[in-house]
């Protein structure tokens, strides 16, 4: 099946620094990419939706200046957490969607665990 | 509002069959997804249903009834590794996924 990779898989950073997370669809071109965050024992929360070459659409309550999303190509999207704080510590998961013969298929990356100290 | 309901937790025995139900009320419908998520890992795609009926994939099957706003995931010949959370998600009219809270499946020997 389709593979989505994320890098890094985990990162520890100091408060006030910025962290970039990459998401790649390895063997397919994604029509749309999504960024989620998940706190322990909670459901996935959609942060933003992005299409290649256009600005991301952020969900209500998500600060677009803090969570910068760049969707450079049909296979690469990046999420940059700027001026990270301990409350940003979470599991960040990207997802890529492909439309195949009229069917939507959406695959998830393995996730990036961010710890801000 | 939009709502996805699924049981919080289920327990089953190794080798048995279990059915996880999901009911939904959403603004529009563009398909229903089932995902498996092990603790500390990202979800893994299991199935996508957009038409009524049963889709079978090995030990896993997924059923959809759009008129009833209902789906189920059927797991056969349960194995210990099937212990995980199973997430039901519906794609609404804006092509956004609306997520259920997940069903934690516990498999006992």
* Chain B: residue whose CA lies nearest to A6: B42
| Contact assignment for A93 to B42 by CB distance below 8 Å | yes
Rounded distance, CA B13 to CA A116, Å? Answer: 40
Tokens 């998600």 sit at which residue?
B89
Average pLDDT of the residues in B12-18:
97
A109 vs B contacts (CB less than 8 Å): 42
pLDDT in the model for residue A116:
96
Q: Which residues lie closer than 8 Å to A100 by C-beta, 6 or more apart?
A: none
Q: What is the mean pLDDT of chain B?
A: 92
Say if residue A58's pLDDT is above 90.
yes
Query: Would you state the pLDDT for residue B51?
Result: 92
Give the pLDDT band of residue A35 (cuts 50, 70, 90). very high
Closest partner CB to B45 (pick from A91, A93, A106): A106
Q: Do B42 and A106 touch (CB under 8 A)?
A: no
Main-chain dihedrals φ then ψ at residue A20, nearest 5 degrees: -110, 135
Distance in angstroms (rounded) separating the CA atoms of residues B50 and B90: 10
CB of A52 closer than 8 Å to CB of A73: yes
Give contacts of B43 with chain A, Cβ < 8 Å. 44, 93, 108
Chain B positions in Cβ-Cβ contact with residue A46 (cut-off 8 Å): 96-97
CB contact at 8 A, A111 and B41: yes
CA distance B30 to B23: 15
Any idea which residue has 């989620």 for tokens? A36
DSSP bridge partners of B86: B36, B103
pLDDT tens by residue, A8-27: 999 999 999 999 999 999 98
Contact A83, A16 (CB under 8 A): yes
**Nearest one of B4, B78, B5, B91 to B48, comparing CA atoms:** B91
Give A65 to chain B, closest Cα distance, Å: 22
Task: Report, as an integer, the average pLDDT of A89-111.
Answer: 83
pLDDT band at A1 (very low <50, low <70, confident <90, very high): low
The residue-averaged pLDDT of A93-101 equals: 83
For residue A49, the chain B residues in CB contact (below 8 A) are 96
Q: What is the pLDDT of residue A44?
A: 79
How does pLDDT run across B61-108, given as a tens digit for each residue?
A: 999 999 999 999 999 999 999 999 999 999 888 777 788 889 999 999
Average the pLDDT over each of A44-58, A98-112, B2-16, B24-38 and give the range with the smallest value: A98-112
Length of chain B: 109
Percentage of chain A beyond pLDDT 90 is 53
Q: Which residues of A touch B30 (CB under 8 A)?
A: 104
Q: Which residue of A has its CA nearest to B49?
A: A103
Residue A1 Cα, gap to closest chain B Cα (Å)? 9
Q: Residue B96: what pLDDT?
A: 74
pLDDT at residue B6 above 80? yes
């Amino acid at each position: 099946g389709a593979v989505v990779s994320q890098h890094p898989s985990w990162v520890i950073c100091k408060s006030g620094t910025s962290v970039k997370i990459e998401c790649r669809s390895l063997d397919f071109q994604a029509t749309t990419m999504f960024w989620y965050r998940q706190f322990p024992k909670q459901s996935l929360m959609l942060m933003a939706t992005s299409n290649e070459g256009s600005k991301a659409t952020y969900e209500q309550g998500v600060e677009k200046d803090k969570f910068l999303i760049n969707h450079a190509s049909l296979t690469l999207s990046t999420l940059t957490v700027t001026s990270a704080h301990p409350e940003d510590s979470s599991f960040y998961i990207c997802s890529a969607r492909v439309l195949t013969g009229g069917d939507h298929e959406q695959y998830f990356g393995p996730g990036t665990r961010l710890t801000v100290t | 509002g939009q709502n996805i309901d699924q049981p919080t937790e289920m327990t089953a025995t190794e080798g048995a069959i279990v059915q996880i139900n999901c009911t939904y009320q959403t603004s529009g419908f563009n398909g229903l997804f089932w995902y498996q998520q092990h603790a500390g890992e990202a979800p893994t795609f299991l199935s996508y249903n957009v038409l009524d009926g049963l889709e079978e994939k090995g030990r896993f099957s997924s059923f959809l009834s759009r008129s009833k706003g209902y789906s189920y995931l059927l797991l056969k010949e349960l194995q210990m590794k099937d212990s995980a959370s199973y997430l039901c998600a519906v794609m609404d009219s804006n092509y956004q996924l609306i997520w259920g809270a997940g069903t934690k499946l516990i498999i006992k020997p």
